[in-house]
Amino acid sequence: MVQYEKYPPHDAPHSDVEDIKRNSQYLRGSLEETLKDPITGSIPEDDNRLMKHHGSYMQDDRDLRNERKKQKLEPAYQFMLRVRASGGIVTPAQWLMMDDISHKYGNNTIRLTTRQSFQLHGVLKWNLKNTIREVNDALLSTLAACGDVNRNVMCNTNPDQSAVHAQVYDWACKVSTHLDPRTRAYHEIWLDEEKVIDSRDGVEQEPIYGAVYLPRKFKIGIAVPPSNDVDVFSQDLGFIAIVENGLLQGFNVAVGGGMGMTHGDDKTYPQVSKVIGFITPEQMIDVAEKVVTIQRDYGDRAVRKHARFKYTIDDRGLDWLVAELHERLGWQLQKARPFQFDHNGDRYGWVKGVDGKWLLTLFIENGRIMDDGDYQLMTGLREIAKVHTGDFRLTPNQNLIIGGVTSAKKKTIEALIARYHLTDGLHYSALRRNSMACVALPTCGMAMAEAERYLPELMTKLENQLDAVGLRNEDIVIRMTGCPNGCARPALAELSFIGKAPGRYNMYLGGSFDGSRLNKMYKENINEDEILSTLQPIFGRYAAERNEGEHFGDFVIRAGYVDAVYDGRQFHA
Catalog residues that contact other proteins under the rule CB under 8 A: 38-41, 64, 67-74, 76, 124, 126
Using DSSP's 3-state secondary structure scheme, residue 300 falls into coil
Give the three-class secondary structure for 465.
Answer: helix
Residue number with CB closer to other proteins (123 or 447): 123
Residue 361: which of 281, 417, 432 has the closest Cα?
417
Q: What is the CA radius of gyration of the chain?
A: 23
Which lies closer to other proteins via its Cβ, residue 67 or residue 266?
Answer: 67
Which is catalytic among the residues 146, 483, 489, 517? 483
Distance between CA atoms of residues 139 and 115, nearest Å:
19
Give the number of other Cβ atoms within 10 Å of residue 523's Cβ. 15
To other proteins, the closest distance from the beta carbon of 132 in angstroms equals 18
Q: Show Cβ contacts of residue 212 under 8 Å, excluding neighbours closer than 6 positions.
A: 7, 18, 21, 22, 301
Helix (H) or strand (E) holding 180: none
Report residue 424: phi and psi, to 5°: -85, 0
Task: Identify which of residues 102 and 114 has a Cβ nearer to other proteins in the complex.
Answer: 102
CA distances to 31, 150, 154, 192, 467 from 145, rounded to whole Å, are 17, 8, 12, 20, 40
Strand, coil or helix: 424: coil
Burial class from Cβ neighbours inside 10 Å (0-12, 13-18, 19+) for residue 212 reads buried
**Residue 233: which of 486, 13, 461, 448 has the closest Cα?**
486
Minimum CB distance to other proteins smaller for 39 or for 197? 39
Residue 483 designated active-site: yes
Report the nearest approach of other proteins to the CB of residue 355 (Å).
46
Nearest distance, CB of residue 142 and other proteins, angstroms = 22
124 vs 163, beta carbon nearer other proteins = 124
What does the buried/exposed string (b/e) look like for 40-49 if buried means 16 or more CB atoms within 10 Å of the residue's CB? ebbbbebbbb
Catalytic member of 184, 444, 489, 517: 444
Output DSSP code: residue 264: T
**38 versus 356: smaller Cβ distance to other proteins:** 38
Tell me if residue 244 falls in helix, strand or coil.
strand
Is beta strand 110-112 parallel, antiparallel or unpaired with respect to 520-526?
A: unpaired
Question: In the bound complex, what is the minimum distance in angstroms from residue 438's beta carbon to other proteins?
Answer: 25
Active-site residue, 219 included: yes
218 φψ region: left (φ > 0), alpha (ψ -120 to 50), beta (else)? beta
Q: Decide if 217 is catalytic.
A: yes
CB of 440 to other proteins, least distance (A): 20
Beta-sheet strands, E only, within 182-296: 220-223, 237-244, 247-255, 274-279
What is the rounded CA–CA span in Å between residue 294 and residue 309? 9
Least distance CB 64 / other proteins (angstroms): 6
In the complex, minimum distance from the CB of residue 130 to other proteins, in angstroms, rounded to a whole number: 11
Q: How many Cα neighbours within 13 Å face the side chain of 461? A: 13
Given the complex with other proteins, which of 40 and 406 has the nearer CB atom?
40
Cβ closest to other proteins, residue 41 vs residue 55? 41
Catalytic residue among 52, 82, 84, 328: 82
The C-alpha atoms of residue 145 and residue 52 are separated, in whole angstroms, by: 7
151 included as an active-site residue: yes
Ordered strands of the 435-437 beta sheet: 435-437, 478-481, 495-501, 504-509, 520-526
Q: Which is nearer to other proteins, 3 or 71 (CB)?
A: 71
Catalytic residue among 274, 438, 500, 520: 438
Q: Is 82 part of the annotated catalytic residue set?
A: yes
State the minimum distance, in angstroms, from the CB of residue 121 to other proteins: 14
Least distance from other proteins to the Cβ atom of residue 369, Å:
22
Catalytic residue positions, numbered: 82, 151, 217, 219, 438, 444, 483, 487
